[in-house]
Every structure is written in C-alpha cells, then in structure tokens.
Amino acid sequence: MRPLIRSACRLRARVRAMATLPAAAAFSPSSSAAARPPRLTLALFFLPSAPAPAALGARALRTSASAAAAAAVDVGGVKIAREDVVREEDPTNNVPDTIYSKIGLQLHRRDNHPLGILKNTIYDYFDKNFSGQFNKFDDLCPLVSVKQNFDDVLVPADHISRSYNDTYYVDAQTVLRCHTSAHQAELLRDGHTHFLVTGDVYRRDSIDSTHYPVFHQMEGFRVFSPDDWSGSGMDGTAYAAADLKKTLEGLARHLFGAVEMRWVDTYFPFTNPSFELEIYFQDDWLEVLGCGVTEQEILKSNGRTDHVAWAFGLGLERLAMVLFDIPDIRLFWSNDQRFTSQFSEGKLGVKFKPFSKFPPCYKDMSFWINEEFTENNLCEVVRGIAGDLVEEVKLIDNFTNKKGLTSHCYRIAYRSMERSLTDEEINDMQVDRCS
C-alpha cells in the first residue's frame, strides 16, 4: 500500500476462485511505532512471498523468496517443485509462495527441535508399551487428493473444511493435507494395523499467537480383530473404546505426569463414539487430543470387514507450547540461535527463556466489505506481504451505514521475534510491495 493509492494491484489469476477484497483509498503512517495506529484503507493485493528474514528489507525479501521458491524440495523421495504447488494460471489454485516455502522443512523430524522432541517422546511411550507393534511414518508427501483428505475419512460434501476459504487447493482434485488422517485409508489398504503418522498440515486460518497456516499433527491408529475382544464380555466397539482410553491416559501421564483427566463426548465425521481428552494443568482444563472408535464404513472400504479400530489425533504445537512455555507459534519456525540453542534431544519440557520482548508496530486499516469477504482471505494477503513479521490481525470495529454498506477496521500488529521493527520500515514494506 502507498499513502495515496492511485490504483489497486492486480490480483493473480488463481485468486479468481477465492473471495476477493474490495478496493479502497489511503492511509497516513503514524509518526512512531508506539503511537496510536493510523486508520488506513485496503487495496486489492495478493502478491505472496516467502516469510521475511529479520534483517531483510522488502525488496531483499522478494528476491530471497523467488530464490527459495525456485528450488524443488524432497519429501519422502518425492520431488516437489514450486510449479507443482503454486499454479498461477489455475483458477482453483489458492496456494501462495509463503506456504510453498514451508514444504519440506519438516520441523517434526529435527531431534533438537521442540516438535521433534515431543514426537520422539510419544514414540518412546508406544515403543515401551507396545513393543514393535506400531509402524511410524513421518515423511509422507503432503500433497494428497480431495478423496484422500475428505472422502476417505467421511467428511460430508457440504462440510466447511472443504471450502477454498479453509483449505489450500493445488487444483480442483488436489490439496495440501489438512490433517494426517489423509493417509489413513492408504495405510490400511497396505496392510498396516498399528501406525503413527506425523507430518505438517496446512489450513487457511486467522493470525494470532496460537494460529499458523502450517502446523504439525500426529495420528494414531489401531485395528482389532474379533479374536481380540472375544471373551472380554464386551462388543468390539466397547472393547476398542476402553483400550483407547487406557492407552491415551497412559500417554497423558507420560507427557504431563500425574495429572487429573476427564473425557468429553464430542463429534468427528470419522469416529463414533468420539471423545476429547482434557487434563487439569496449570490451574485450567487443557484439551490434549481428539479420538474415537473408527467408523465401520472406513474399515470395510479398506479391506477390514468385521474388524474395529480406534484413532486419535493431536496437534504437536498445541502441546509443545504448553510443555515448553513457548508463547508464540511463530517461534517454532525461528532459526535464531537464542531460540534453537535452548532445546536438546530427549529433554522434554525445558522451559523457554524469552531472549527479549520486542515492541510491536501497529497499523489499522478500514475498508468496505461485500458478502464475499472472509477474514481468512485478508490474513492470506497480510501473510503474503509481511510473512512471519505479522503477529496478529484483529477486527476492532465495524460499521454499517444507512445504505446497508458495511465497513470493517482491522488492527495489524507487526512484531519480530528477533529485533525491533521501525514504523518507517513497515511503511516502506507496504509501499514497496504494492508498487
């Protein structure tokens, strides 16, 4: 954006399938980062780039992003090039370069990283209690079909998660997986009956300290044959549910120690009954994971007639933020040695020591919206320009005039994890990126 915008930036062709933002007029930069943010207006812009290294200005950022996007990445032996994911001429594609730049980083496979430490601790629990039973997969390709991601796990055709507002579509039939459950059917067909799947998953989402468009999940799955529950006095569903709860209560104690727990009934499309496990931790109830007894349709469709199974899924970032006292989800992606040097292989729960709390730089923007506007689209625009320098996007005001037109005002908080930002460089970044 520039102080007086003469024309809106051109949307890329692939945004045609997404809800767009209405054009608007101007903003006046504030005199200091600490001053009350100016109200500014939003132009149409969607020019994604890789996240900003702290020391780079906007032009250097763009050059760095182009170089990073040019190189193909290898995930589990599959080469993924930028053109495989970011297809600018496909109207159904909504994957920006900021998302492509995360593919292949696989934080969960780094033994000295909080996510890798947590993953390996969970592995230790299953190795100790189910020696040699669970196969582990942590390098599966994140590009999956719509069928794998949704149909195979019984997500209804009208479910909101299928929308372009919530999911990254490579094309009409291919997505970046929204959950590790996307591999459930193929692993069953391959003959696996006990498995743990860990990987990066992708969802278009809001911007704040606990939400990020790329995060990491672990899926656990166990199949039982009729011989397993015969003689137990229970039917297969009750037997699987009891084993599931016993297994996951043990996992919670392995991670958090002797904590109070409770089970909460819930709903998932792919399990019935379905539960959430909560623990009482740091004077509050914390949701640890979701789970349940797998729907029979999934088992029958993949060659497991007359069997029952349980499944669970947990978010690694959610648990790691609690266990390591990490206050901002963006820190997981930091290469700053002041962050990375605090963690060591095998040491779960080492408390993160903040190396500094750098001041935020705020900008307000207001614009008229139409019925197609979504906050997720706005957040994609902001991430595309600011990368990991953006800390939060928050609606602070809305107004509807006598003609029925509605205006929203959002406050954008910019804050680096590594240094102080200046009001001038944020203004320069906004001007440069829409020049």
Indicate the DSSP class of residue 41: E
- Give 365's strand partners: 40, 410
Per DSSP, helices labelled H in 302-400 are 316-323, 337-340, 375-386
| 5 pLDDT more than 70 | no
Whether 106 and 200 have beta carbons less than 8 Å apart is answered as: yes
Q: For residue 33, is pLDDT > 50?
A: no
Contacts of 432 (CB under 8 A, 6+ apart): 57, 58, 59
Beta-carbon contacts of residue 28 (< 8 Å; ≥ 6 apart): 3, 38, 40
Q: Which residues contact 42 (CB under 8 A, 6 or more apart)?
A: 1, 21, 22, 24, 365, 366, 367, 378
Identify the CA nearest to 319 among candidates 265, 256, 267: 256
DSSP state of 35: S
Element spanning 292, H or E: strand 284-294
- Asked if the model's pLDDT at residue 61 lies above 50, the reply is no
All residues at 6 or more sequence positions from 170 whose CB lies less than 8 Å from its CB, including other chains: 84, 85, 87, 93, 95, 143, 176
pLDDT of 76 = 87
Query: Which candidate, 73, 378, 380, places its Cα nearest to that of 200?
Result: 73
What are the Cα distances from residue 302, in Å, to 153, 198, 233, 313? 11, 21, 27, 20
Spatial separation of the C-alpha atoms in residues 123 and 345, rounded to whole Å: 13
- Name the average pLDDT for the chain: 85
Q: How confident is the model at residue 433 (pLDDT cuts 50, 70, 90)?
A: low
The vertex-75 CA angle with 352 and 131, nearest 5°, equals 70
Among 290, 310, 307, which Cα is nearest to 299's?
Answer: 307
Q: What pLDDT, on a 0 to 100 scale, did the predictor assign at position 214?
A: 97
**Percent of the chain predicted with pLDDT > 70:** 83
Classify residue 19 as exposed, middle or buried by CB count within 10 Å of its CB (0-12, 13-18, 19+). Answer: middle
Residue 70's pLDDT is 57
Q: CA-to-CA distance for 405 and 409, rounded, in angstroms?
A: 14
For residue 396, what are its two tokens?
């602070």
Pairing label, strands 174-176, 169-171: antiparallel
Q: Determine the pLDDT at residue 67.
A: 53
pLDDT tens across 79-138, in order?
999 999 999 999 999 999 999 999 999 999 999 999 999 999 999 999 999 999 999 999
Residue 21 reports pLDDT greater than 60: no
Q: Each residue of 265-283: pLDDT tens digit?
A: 999 999 999 999 999 988 8
Strand partners, 287: 278
Exposure string of 39-72, with b = 16+ CB inside 10 Å and e = fewer, is ebbbbbbbbbbbbbeeebebeebbebbeebbeee
Contact 181, 156 (CB under 8 A): no
Q: Which two tokens stand for residue 100?
A: 């492509």
- Sign of the four-CA dihedral 195, 196, 199, 204: positive
Q: How much is the pLDDT for 68?
A: 52
What is the Cα–Cα distance from 310 to 333, expressed in whole angstroms? 32
Chain segment 377-420, per-residue pLDDT in tens:
999 999 988 999 999 999 999 999 999 999 999 999 999 988 89
What distance in Å separates the CA atoms of residue 325 and residue 209, rounded to the nearest whole number? 13
Distances in whole angstroms, Cα of residue 55 to Cα of each of 11, 65, 196, 212, 391: 28, 14, 39, 22, 17
